[in-house]
Structure 1
């Protein structure tokens, strides 16, 4: 089934208002394939000879190298970089480990090297199972038991799927779905049109050792001699989205790219292990008459996103400032509703230079650790609707590889706009960033950005920076220093291509990361670490009661702490001061909002402390007076007010349902000033008498 849609552009800056996005859709019969169960996969010596380097569309790298040469010739002037606002504290570094192999039969461990490139991915469950993947294996750590979790230490991706050990798995992606308490694993298989596939695996439980439900998507879905590369994924409540590029084999990359695709899958069917999984393929996505390249899925700040968003840019340009923002609003059966806006950032990006190592020829722009291009590598939508995203770029001041950190403000609205900063260093090259939300309440917009670093005097390792609610950055934190430079290929070595990072949902402010570092043997492997945000305390609110002598003379003070002062208070929906006068027994809705817009509220019942002794108060008074008296029994009580001439001024009768201490209040305002006698009677006997002075 195939349909063609043409959808009007909603808004574009500096572009024709008549530009359009075109998209076609198809659906497929996707059957559940053989499960794979990590605890049942035994280590083997299964001999195979494969290329040392994972397959990808950068096989035609000479053309990209030419762009890097042109950029190096064009941008030679080195000037000081603009200073970021760097007043935020650094995140704190906690637990960490490199991945390693466990030889269970002899009780020893050994190194576990990643493929070329690493392609780091990471997901962590609420139970503390940290699942990581690299080319071409998955590995897990149990935080609670402080041990490797996969029964046989790791599972090779080649062992997954109906053609286990005959296909080559690469480009792994991982997610943890908090609502389902399950993992999702997506990776590619093979790089030719006749056997290209996308493996989509759903864990059957929250233990990755248990069976995984597996579905295989066609990597050449349109049967037109293509294969799929560069996957990314995100989830909504109902759907799993997977993006990729369709590649024409055996031609240059300028003509070899044949469009980006979006797979939309029934997520709940996958977690249920249904025999088939509902799906929809969005393909031939064009802006005007050109394919949109390298769509990157936007994730939600807390995992799921409410509406599926995708970002793209001019990733092969030497310098550009355009960002394409797509959003998908249709389900598996509704008419196609793919929307696009194009925005210009206030800061340009461009193809980054390669990362330099000790053995890098610094006069050769094609040498060093390869940074690929400037595509978006990480994006999350915050609770306020803004989208923060990161990529690798050239710093056009110091000509280093650097991190591009952008924010799409007011995403989804016609007044949306983009601002960006460049995270850079005068010596180190930075590459392959990703980011995760680190707030401790929904209104927080803070993130931790993780990335790889290298330089002629620093071995390849991992770093991170904290971005605060006040839009300032911390100093860069080194997570893991490399032990040597990397040298596994002739010429430049691979670096990246991805950085794994996820918020740890049970502990707001904490994230786990997985990145690239150089080993002592000049190889590369993955390191996993725990980082904690230095965010200020969560906004909290409490009420302090100051008793008053009159029932309706009770003072309540709202006391906010944490968050970002100043605070704005409201009482029952009306803005006011931090104090409020109320009656005992009233229920008040107290609300506070801090300077960031974060807010919290609660209902407060105003107490009224009745004195222990019998009394009238206040006395003297000009208005309300309260009477505390002891009733010997239940029954009618008569309150009588007499002037000094013995004339009864007022009589009131109330019914008491119980004996004991009671409080009665009435208003003396109608009386003329003077002295009065107040009597409380039960069964014609006085139980309390007092003189009252009316001012």
Structure 2
């Protein structure tokens, strides 16, 4: 994609992406050359392109939306919102705020109504108000009087699920005066946009550059994991997380802490690292992959480097259904066929409620041969088809779990 698509002497900074069921959206800020990004902002573009064209290797028929304004001013740092448990569409929501304001309750809600080949697709901007203001964060504190840059209070992570949008950003924590995390929840998406805010803070550490992913496992399971960087004069730079479950927040969990403060630039002011990443593993409910930053000491003989480094982790929630499945609500087994099998077999299940299902193949000694699938089954009839072409002839057992508990074992003969 060109960095100056309007041919007006601009360059593109700060790209962000999100997928719908059929398209990829990418936003980017156009910056005026020779000016810093803080004051040289021109506008944010929204690129829209087909996933099918990209997956097939064809030329991308990418279009962009410009002039995304509210009250005559361009919306800045537009953040596209991806589906929580799966990509949705064809429309998509995007978010922005007043990222340099010391205290504000404005949330801009951008809506792209359809696909790029739909002549009726429009882009609209509406203003929503939070019940708890956010504010631009201060610098973050390090050991030895060093500091981290927090940039501003832009929205950095989000997802949409169960008719609501969760989002996170940097903010000032008024309770401590330190850097904190703003967690917002937007409901009534088809109405007047009700927005509730909550500030995650710590009595000792500065928290910054958050991200968030959906970790729910069943319908209306409004939970997520929020991850972020942490630092303090007595705590080296690292990464922490917190679990949110339908209005309740866990204690902070340390994911990784470094062994040094960061000292790369001259003076005491450093880049924090700085943005974090977070993505749900769509075929394994409750599991997300995250990346964050930590301080690392590298001994180079007469010198010691104190640098930024990246930590990647896979996180899982232990929370499942609020009540165990009762006997009359367990999956109703229908059929496994053909059996004996040659190259494939099919499994039919009827579920009385949504459930997280696991399918594994064991040999006659009970040794795991293959984990076929771990995913969500929907209420009603479900059909699963598995290849057995790679299995040697013999006797095997298909083990089926529902919501983490063993439900049934079926004997299968491979010819």
TM-score (norm 2): 0.75
1:298 is aligned to 81
> How far, CA to CA, are the matches of 1:289 and 1:242 in structure 2?
23
1:462 is aligned to 239
> How far, CA to CA, are the matches of 1:590 and 1:346 in structure 2?
40
Task: Give secondary structure in 2 for the equivalent of 1:483.
Answer: coil
Are 1:355 and 2:140 an aligned pair?
A: yes
> How far, CA to CA, are the matches of 2:15 and 2:221 in structure 1?
29
> How far, CA to CA, are the matches of 1:340 and 1:540 in structure 2?
43
1:623 is aligned to none
2:220 is aligned to 443
Are 1:430 and 2:186 an aligned pair?
A: no
Are 1:341 and 2:118 an aligned pair?
A: no
2:155 is aligned to 376
Matches within 5 A, 1:133-148: none
Q: Which runs of 5+ in 1 are unaligned?
A: 1-216, 361-366, 544-557, 562-588, 594-598, 604-695
1:521-546 per-residue CA deviation (whole Å, 9 max, x = no partner) reads: 31111111121102133766555xxx
CA contact (8 A) 2:218 2:321 kept: no
Matches within 5 A, 1:632-651: none
2:21 is aligned to 237
> How far, CA to CA, are the matches of 2:225 and 2:85 in structure 1?
14
> How far, CA to CA, are the matches of 2:81 and 2:207 in structure 1?
22
Matches within 5 A, 1:400-549: 400-411=178-189, 413-469=190-246, 471-491=247-267, 492-521=269-298, 522-537=306-321, 541=325
Q: Which runs of 5+ in 2 are unaligned?
A: 299-305, 332-349, 355-376, 382-415
Task: Give secondary structure in 2 for the equivalent of 1:523.
Answer: strand
> How far, CA to CA, are the matches of 1:407 and 1:379 in structure 2?
9
1:311 is aligned to 95
1:322 is aligned to 106
> How far, CA to CA, are the matches of 1:458 and 1:539 in structure 2?
40
Task: Give secondary structure in 2 for the equivalent of 1:448.
Answer: strand
Measured after TM superposition, the shift of residue 331 of structure 1 is 2.1
Measured after TM superposition, the shift of residue 303 of structure 1 is 4.2
Task: Give secondary structure in 1 for the equivalent of 2:53.
Answer: helix
- For the aligned residue pairs, the C-alpha RMSD in angstroms reads 2.5
Q: Which one has a larger percent strand, Structure 1 or Structure 2?
A: 2
Q: Which has the higher contact order (CA 8 A, sep 6+)?
A: 1
> How far, CA to CA, are the matches of 2:277 and 2:154 in structure 1?
16
1:224 is aligned to 8
1:257 is aligned to 41
Measured after TM superposition, the shift of residue 462 of structure 1 is 0.5
Measured after TM superposition, the shift of residue 444 of structure 1 is 1.4
Matches within 5 A, 1:602-613: none
CA contact (8 A) 2:210 2:229 kept: yes
Measured after TM superposition, the shift of residue 505 of structure 1 is 2.6
Task: Give secondary structure in 2 for the equivalent of 1:519.
Answer: strand
CA contact (8 A) 1:512 1:531 kept: yes
Task: Give secondary structure in 1 for the equivalent of 2:197.
Answer: strand
Task: Give secondary structure in 2 for the equivalent of 1:302.
Answer: coil
Give the 3 Å change call, closer, same or farther, for CA 222–531 of structure 1 in structure 2: same
Measured after TM superposition, the shift of residue 266 of structure 1 is 1.3
> How far, CA to CA, are the matches of 1:320 and 1:250 in structure 2?
30
Task: Give secondary structure in 2 for the equivalent of 1:433.
Answer: strand
CA contact (8 A) 1:438 1:446 kept: yes
Give the 3 Å change call, closer, same or farther, for CA 260–465 of structure 1 in structure 2: same
Pick the structure with greater CA Rg: 1
